[in-house]
Each structure stands twice: as structure tokens, then as C-alpha cells.
A and B are shown apart, each in its own frame.
Chain A
């Protein structure tokens, strides 16, 4: 997949404002960005649910919109919003969607049963959608996206609002799919999710890609190794060599490559609400997208 100067404007909103990126087969790419960054819009351009305003995009070497049918035959989408057919039960939902995807009745039934089983939803096969919990609905959404064995899986915030158990289950499933050769595009607000699953992350802000690279490299390149995070400090300790200090609201962050320095600082802090940890993707994310609200 390849995008060059790809843009989508809604009247005066520049939802996607000239992005360039490429995705290799069997790669898992995470798209991060604050609310309204344009992640969903970008995904919709990829599966031809929107017309682009400018730029170029090719998927499997084909052109979205013009060759929508060929592209989407190889694409599975887990939408940000749950849009399961509420007039049907779980098994029927999969059956009907499999028909839409072009499977025969027989294959559709087999795939639906297999995927229900894989997502541990078999006992709920005959339940109507409304009686399913949030986690079950989300797993069903993922099962639905996999019915026709897509080559490319698009996941728009697959685990938002789910409990840790479901999240970890879904991550395990996605890792299995990746092992089996699937290409995955993932948007998320959970840095841990991006770090766990993605070979590479693209950080978006206001329709542009502002940073990209493998999660660990980004952290190494842009931040010190350790962070001491504290909140509610009444007086900030004097600056020390080898420690960088940042303040946002009532929160203070101290960065350093030397853990003992931060440990010493930690011991001197009056508050116990401080934590000393490795720098992570969220620190990079906040550094580049800022700490203020975006909308």
C-alpha cells in the first residue's frame, strides 16, 4: 500500500491533509493520534468508503474507488463504531456478512462456526446482538472482518472501552493473525496496544503524519530512557545535571538516561504519588502532540 500527498477535506475541515506512507505485506502498522486526527478518515479512504480530495493512494497496487471491488475482496474491516445487524443473532450476522463477502452458503456457515469458536462466542451464537456485552460485540466485529480470509485487516480502535481480559485476548488473536501472514492496519488510543502489536507506528495530528518508526526506536530516538513522574509537587527540586524537567499543569516529569539520578530524586520527593519507570510510547506521543486538548 502506498499513499502520496493523500488528502481528504470536508468543507473547511482538513481531516487528512497530505500524508505519505507505505505499508509492506505482513506488516502491522499502528496509527496513533488525538481525537479528530484523521485516523478513521484515512482508513475509510483505504477501503473506498470516501472519495479522496487530492493525492495518490494505491492498495494492493490497485486504485481505491475505481477498483473498489477487487480491493475490498481482500480487505476486512473492524469499524470504530459497532455496526452489527441488530435484526439478526450472532451466527446469522456472520452468515449474512459472509454472503455479502461472496462466500457460498456452505463455506459461509463453516467460517461463521469456526470464527465464533475461535472468538469463544459459540455459546452466544443464537443471542441477539443487543444482549451481548461490549466485549462480545467487539469480538464478533473482529470475527466478521475475518470471514473471507482478507489479506489486509483494518482495525479502527478495536479495543476501546474493553476490559483488560478482553483486550489481551484480542491482542493474542491479532498476533496469531499476523503470524499467519496478514497485513494489519491498526488505529488506537492505547499506546500499549500499539507498542505490543505494531512493527511500526505513525503518529498523526491534525491530518498529518508527524512521526513514524518502530515504537522502541521512536522512544530511544526522542526521549531519555527513564522518567520520574510526579504530581501535586508544591516545590520543584533544583535542577540537576543529567536530568531534564518538564511541567504541565500540576504534573512534573523528570527525564534521564541514568536511573540512579532519578532514584535519588525519587527518594527526596515529599510525595509518594511519584513513579519511576522506563520512558514509553505515550511519553513520545505527548511530546509530539502536546498536552493540551486538540478539539
Chain B
């Protein structure tokens, strides 16, 4: 114990505190950025590479043999690129708030530690979702850049891709939190990832058009929460906006609001026990 380093009377002197929402959210967000930055290569390489393998195998490999014409008025390479970038935003967000959040909740007890501060429970989790949204924006942009180098054709509207990545990341972070709030052991997540995330990734129009086969399937496909993101992303690549684009936008924002609300409600109950 080194008593001399802190003059008596200094330890308990009142300090100015910023208890506003912005600083609270920033603190939580910054914690994740700081941790992520430490292991940037190890963390970011697999998901980026994974989506690029898909892209290479499906769009460049398979696509060049089978689908010279493409879908939806887009060359196939561009078609897949626009889907994969939304998918990668979903993936990076949902893994963070399932496995990552569960470890912090159950093993590290980080949220218990945060409960001892003035942070609102909503701030603890919104900060986390904002981090996932940031990651979604960055990942989708990286995928956009690399696929462009590989032959996808973006338009000027693609400058809005980070925005779609951001909202998509936030939405799926919230979905992840809702799932986590029900999960008892970490193994349960594999049901969610293989049972829901994987099929969503493949069947919400990432690699081929789901709509246009059966009317009922159109409705179902549009209701999968990733479809609106992909629909919007594709609109940017086509630089054409239809009523469907509008519906997609409303759906995306609606889902985000719904899952945001659900996530906070569920996690509050879980953290306060």
C-alpha cells in the first residue's frame, strides 16, 4: 500500500460526473471497440473471409457457368455481392450478442458489475447494439469494396451501404439479445445458428430470387427479417426504387423497433432476476 501517492482527502473528493445518455452509451460502445481492436485480425478475418469464399465460389465460380444473365436485371456477381453484404452485417451482429453477450452475462458477470453504476439497463444494451451496428456498417462496407474489386458493379447509391449495414447490424443484435435472454446453456445457441441464422442467410434472396415462384412464398420471404435489408441493398445497386423498396424500408425499421423493444424488456428481466 502506497499511502503517499494519494494525498489524504483526495480519494473521496467529489468528481464531476457525466450521467447523460450519450456519454453512457459511448462508454459501453467504446468498451467493445477497445476489446475488438485488440483482437482485430483474429476477430474480423473469419467472417470477412467466409463471406468472400461464398462470393468466390457461388458468384464467380458457379455463376460464370450457369448464370451469365443474372437476376433482377443485375449481373450475377453484383446480385450476390448485394446480398452477401447485408448477410455479413447480420452475421457479425448476431454472433456478438449471442455467444459474446452470454459469456459476459453468465461467465464474466459484466452486467452485474455495470448494475453497480449509474448506467441504465437500457443504456448497457443499447450501447452494445450500437457497437454491433457499427460493426455491421464496417463489415458491409468491406464486403462492398472487395466484391467491387472482384467484378461487382456498384452505383453511386451504394454510398448508402454502410447505413443499411448499420441498421441491419442493430436489428440482428437485438434479435440475438432476445434469443440470449432465453438461453440456459451456451450449447443452446447452435439450435439458433443452424436452425435460423443459416437458413435465413441462404433463403432470403442472397444467392437467388426467392420471390416470384409462389404468392405465399413471396409473403413469407418478405417477412424474414433479413429480406428487407437485401431488398434495399439491391435497390441501391440497381439505382431503381419501387414501392417494394418502400415496403422493405418500413419493414426494416419496424422490425428494428420491435426487436429493440423486446430485447430491452427481456434483458432487463434477465439481469434483474
Chain A positions within 8 Å of B, measured between CB atoms, are 47-51, 68-70, 72-73, 75-77, 79, 81, 83-88, 92, 96-97, 99-104, 107, 111, 114-115, 117-120, 144-146, 148-149, 151, 154, 169, 172-173, 176-177, 179-182
Q: Are B116 and A47 in contact (CB under 8 A)?
A: yes
Residue from the list B6, B108, B116 in contact with A114, Cβ < 8 A: B6
Residue from the list A49, A51, A120 in contact with B112, Cβ < 8 A: A49
A86 to chain B, nearest CB (A): 6
Q: Are A102 and B2 in contact (CB under 8 A)?
A: no
Residue from the list B5, B26, B27, B110 in contact with A85, Cβ < 8 A: B110
Q: Are A118 and B31 in contact (CB under 8 A)?
A: no
Closest A residue, CB atoms, query B119: A100
Residue from the list B5, B16, B108, B118 in contact with A83, Cβ < 8 A: B108
Whether, in the assembled complex, B42 has its beta carbon less than 8 Å from a beta carbon of chain A, the answer is no
Q: Are A88 and B1 in contact (CB under 8 A)?
A: no
B135 to chain A, nearest CB (A): 15
Residue from the list A50, A68, A149, A169 in contact with B14, Cβ < 8 A: A149
A175 to chain B, nearest CB (A): 11
Closest B residue, CB atoms, query A147: B15
Given contacts A104-B18, A118-B2, A148-B17, 17 further A-B contacts (CB under 8 A): A49-B115, A50-B273, A72-B119, A73-B19, A77-B116, A85-B35, A88-B35, A100-B24, A102-B18, A107-B16, A111-B15, A117-B2, A117-B5, A148-B15, A176-B8, A177-B12, A181-B12
Q: Are B28 and A100 in contact (CB under 8 A)?
A: yes
How far, in angstroms, from A73 to B1 measured CA to CA in the complex? 27
Q: Are B109 and A83 in contact (CB under 8 A)?
A: yes
Q: Are B9 and A86 in contact (CB under 8 A)?
A: no
Whether, in the assembled complex, B13 has its beta carbon less than 8 Å from a beta carbon of chain A, the answer is yes
A87 with B1: in contact, given A102-B19, A102-B24 (CB under 8 Å)? no
* Residues of B within 8 A of A (CB-CB), count: 41
**Chain A to chain B contacts (Cβ below 8 Å), 14 pairs:** A73-B118, A83-B110, A85-B35, A85-B110, A86-B108, A88-B31, A99-B31, A100-B31, A100-B117, A107-B16, A117-B2, A117-B6, A180-B9, A180-B12
Q: Are B118 and A85 in contact (CB under 8 A)?
A: no
Q: Are B116 and A76 in contact (CB under 8 A)?
A: yes
Residue from the list A47, A115, A176 in contact with B3, Cβ < 8 A: A176
Residue from the list A76, A85, A117, A119 in contact with B108, Cβ < 8 A: A85
How far, in angstroms, from A86 to B110 measured CA to CA in the complex? 9
Closest B residue, CB atoms, query A181: B12
Closest B residue, CB atoms, query A117: B5
How far, in angstroms, from A169 to B10 measured CA to CA in the complex? 19
A118 with B5: in contact, given A50-B272, A51-B272, A88-B35 (CB under 8 Å)? yes
A47 to chain B, nearest CB (A): 6
A147 to chain B, nearest CB (A): 9
How far, in angstroms, from A10 to B221 measured CA to CA in the complex? 43
Closest B residue, CB atoms, query A178: B12
B residues within 8 A CB of A87?
35, 38, 108
B134 to chain A, nearest CB (A): 17
B residues within 8 A CB of A48?
115
Whether, in the assembled complex, B23 has its beta carbon less than 8 Å from a beta carbon of chain A, the answer is yes
B residues within 8 A CB of A69?
19, 118, 120
| Residue of B1, B26, B109 with most chain A CB atoms under a 10 A cut-off | B1
How far, in angstroms, from A59 to B143 measured CA to CA in the complex? 52
Q: Are B113 and A79 in contact (CB under 8 A)?
A: yes
Closest B residue, CB atoms, query A85: B110
Whether, in the assembled complex, B30 has its beta carbon less than 8 Å from a beta carbon of chain A, the answer is yes
How far, in angstroms, from A180 to B12 measured CA to CA in the complex? 7
Q: Are A68 and B11 in contact (CB under 8 A)?
A: no
Q: Are A73 and B113 in contact (CB under 8 A)?
A: no
How far, in angstroms, from A111 to B15 measured CA to CA in the complex? 10
Q: Are A180 and B119 in contact (CB under 8 A)?
A: no
A16 to chain B, nearest CB (A): 14
Q: Are B34 and A92 in contact (CB under 8 A)?
A: yes
How far, in angstroms, from A154 to B110 measured CA to CA in the complex? 18
Residue from the list B24, B108, B272 in contact with A49, Cβ < 8 A: B272
Whether, in the assembled complex, B114 has its beta carbon less than 8 Å from a beta carbon of chain A, the answer is yes
A residues within 8 A CB of B108?
83, 85-87
Residue from the list B1, B9, B16, B28 in contact with A173, Cβ < 8 A: B1
A126 to chain B, nearest CB (A): 12
How far, in angstroms, from A107 to B70 measured CA to CA in the complex? 57
Q: Are A83 and B6 in contact (CB under 8 A)?
A: no
A residues within 8 A CB of B110?
83, 85
A11 to chain B, nearest CB (A): 11
| Residues 89-138 of B at the A interface (beta carbon under 8 Å) | 108-110, 112-120
Q: Are B17 and A73 in contact (CB under 8 A)?
A: yes
A107 with B15: in contact, given A87-B35, A99-B31, A102-B23 (CB under 8 Å)? yes
Q: Are A118 and B11 in contact (CB under 8 A)?
A: yes
Closest B residue, CB atoms, query A129: B108
A residues within 8 A CB of B35?
85, 87-88
B residues within 8 A CB of A173?
1
